């Protein structure tokens, strides 16, 4: 599973819960729905990611990047 952020378009902000339900039906694990900013965050299998872009109300689907910083005492190489 990869972590993703889905942006909901302005025309569907009032029905963001329905957009979230449609995303769940297409395999997304919805962790949070941020109504005021129109963002739905969660995770999905890499093969299912493209399916989410076809959900009505979805403006974009972005993969979240994880940055890991080694501890200060770690060997740099």
Residue 6 · residue 39 · CB < 8 Å = yes
What was the pLDDT predicted at 77? 65
What secondary structure does DSSP assign to the chain, as a single string? Answer: -EEEEEEEPGGGGGGHHHHHHHHHHTT-EEEEEETTTTEEEEEE-GGGHHHHTTSTTEEEEEEPP------TTS---
**Structure confidence by residue, pLDDT tens digits, 33-76:** 999 999 999 999 988 888 999 999 999 999 988 788 888 888 87
């Amino acid at each position: 599973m990869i972590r993703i952020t889905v942006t909901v378009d302005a025309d569907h902000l009032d029905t963001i819960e329905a957009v979230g339900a449609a995303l769940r039906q297409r395999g997304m694990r919805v962790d949070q729905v941020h109504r005021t900013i129109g963002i739905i965050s969660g995770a999905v299998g890499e093969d299912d990611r493209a399916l989410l872009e076809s959900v009505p109300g979805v403006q974009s689907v972005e993969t979240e990047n994880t940055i890991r910083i080694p501890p200060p005492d770690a060997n740099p190489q």
